[in-house]
Chains A and B, each alone.
Chain A
Amino acid sequence: MQELSVRHLLGIKDITPQDIQLIFETADNFKDVLNRPIKKVPSLRDITIANVFFENSTRTRLSFELAEKRLSADVINFSSSSSSVKKGETLLDTVNNILAMKVDMIVMRHSSPGAPHFLSRHINANIVNAGDGTHEHPTQALLDSFSIREKYGEVAGKRIVIIGDILHSRVALSNIFALQKLGAEVMVCGPITLLPKYIKELGVKVELDVRKALEWCDVANVLRIQLERQQMKYFPSLREYTLYYGIDKKMLDSLDKEITLMHPGPINRGVELSSDAADSHHSIILNQVENGVAIRMAVLYLLASKTA
Chain B
Amino acid sequence: MQKRLIVNQQLLDIMVMRLCHQLIENHGDFSDSVILGLQPRGKYVAERIQQTLATILGKQVPTGYLDTTFHRDDFRRRETPLTANATKIDFLIEGKKVILVDDVLYTGRSVRAAMDAMIAYGRPANVELLVLIDRLYTRHLPIEATYVGRQVNSLQSQRVLVEWKAQQAPEDNIWLITKTED
Contacts and interface: CB of A to CB of B under 8 A. Distances in A.
Contact of A33 (B70, B80, B122): B70
Q: Range of interface residues on chain A?
A: 20 to 34
Given A33-B70, A36-B121, A46-B76, A3 B81 contact: yes
A42 B71 contact: yes
B70 A43 contact: yes
B6 to A, nearest CB: 27
B120 interface: yes
Interface residues of B, number: 22
B119 interface: yes
Nearest to A29: B84
Nearest to A72: B70
A1 B80 contact: yes
Contact of B84 (A26, A40, A71): A26
Interface in A26-59: 26, 28-29, 32-33, 36-38, 40-43, 46-47
Contacts of B79: 1
Contact of A32 (B75, B81, B87, B116): B87
Given A46-B76, A305-B76, A307-B76, A2 B70 contact: no
B56 interface: no
A194 to B, nearest CB: 40
A301 B81 contact: yes
Contacts of A40: 120
A26 B69 CA distance: 11
A148 interface: no
B64 to A, nearest CB: 12
Contacts of B80: 1-3, 305
Nearest to B81: A305
B86 A29 contact: yes
B83 A2 contact: yes
A3 B117 CA distance: 23
The 4 closest A-B pairs by CB, nearest first: A41-B70, A305-B81, A38-B120, A29-B84
7 contacts: A1-B83, A2-B81, A29-B67, A37-B120, A37-B121, A38-B121, A41-B117
